[in-house]
Amino acid sequence: MTDVSMIIDGERRAAPSTFGVVNPATGAVHAEAPDCSREQLDEAFAAASKAFVSWRQDEDARRAALKAASAAMRAAGDRIAPVLTAEQGKPLKSAYMEAAGSSYWLKYFANLELPREVIQDDARARAEVVRRPIGVVAAITPWNFPVMLATWKIAPALLAGNTMVLKPSPFTPRSTLLMAEILSEVLPPGVLNVVSGGDELGRWMTAHPVPRKISFTGSVATGKHIATSAAPDLKRVTLELGGNDPAILLDDVDPEAIAGKLFAGAFDNSGQICSAIKRVYVPESLHDAVVEALAARAAAAKVGDGMDPETELGPVQNRPQFERVRDLVAEALAGGAKAATGGAPLDGPGFFYQPTVLTGAAEGTRIVDEEQFGPALPVIPYRDVDEVVARANATMFGLSGSVWSADPDRAGAVAERLDCGTAWVNAHVALGPHQPFGGFKWSGLGVENGPWGLAGFTEIQVQYRAKG
Q: Which residues bind ligand NAD (CB under 6 A)?
A: 140-144, 149, 167, 169-170, 199, 202-203, 206, 217-219, 222, 225-226, 240-243, 274, 371, 373, 399, 439, 444
Closest CA to 246 of 409, 453, 417, 432: 417
Which one, 135 or 446, has the nearer CB to ligand NAD?
446
Which one, 83 or 274, has the nearer CB to ligand NAD?
274
Q: How many C-beta atoms lie closer than 10 Å to residue 315's C-beta? A: 29
Work out the angle at residue 195's Cα, subtended by the Cα atoms of residues 192 and 201, and round it to the nearest 5 degrees.
Answer: 130
Catalytic residue list contains 363? no
Which one, 275 or 426, has the nearer CB to ligand NAD?
275
- Asked if residues 129 and 143 have their Cβ atoms less than 8 Å apart, the reply is no
**The total number of residues written for the chain in this structure:** 468
Contacting residues for 347 by C-beta, under 8 A, at least 6 apart? none
How far is the first Cα of the chain from the last one, in angstroms, to the nearest whole number?
68
Instruction: Quote the CA–CA distance of 60 and 366 in Å, as a whole number.
Output: 51
Q: How many C-beta atoms lie closer than 10 Å to residue 250's C-beta? A: 19
Give min distance, CB of 284 to ligand NAD, in A: 30
Contacting residues for 348 by C-beta, under 8 A, at least 6 apart? none
Q: Which of 32, 43, 240, 448 is catalytic?
A: 240
Q: DSSP per residue over 271-314, as a string?
A: G--TTSEEEEEEEGGGHHHHHHHHHHHHHH--B--TTSTT-SB-
Which one, 222 or 341, has the nearer CB to ligand NAD?
222
Tell me 346's DSSP state. P
- Asked if residues 259 and 294 have their Cβ atoms less than 8 Å apart, the reply is yes
Which residues make beta-bridge pairs with 445? 239
Which one, 72 or 166, has the nearer CB to ligand NAD?
166
Which one, 91 or 453, has the nearer CB to ligand NAD?
453
Nearest residue (beta carbon) to ligand NAD: 202
Give min distance, CB of 172 to ligand NAD, in A: 8
Give min distance, CB of 222 to ligand NAD, in A: 3
Closest CA to 171 of 251, 65, 241, 84: 84
Give min distance, CB of 360 to ligand NAD, in A: 25
Which one, 101 or 444, has the nearer CB to ligand NAD?
444
Instruction: Quote the CA–CA distance of 254 and 256 in Å, as a whole number.
Output: 6
Closest CA to 217 of 135, 154, 136: 154
Closest CA to 395 of 424, 363, 429: 363
Give min distance, CB of 273 to ligand NAD, in A: 7
Residues with catalytic roles = 240
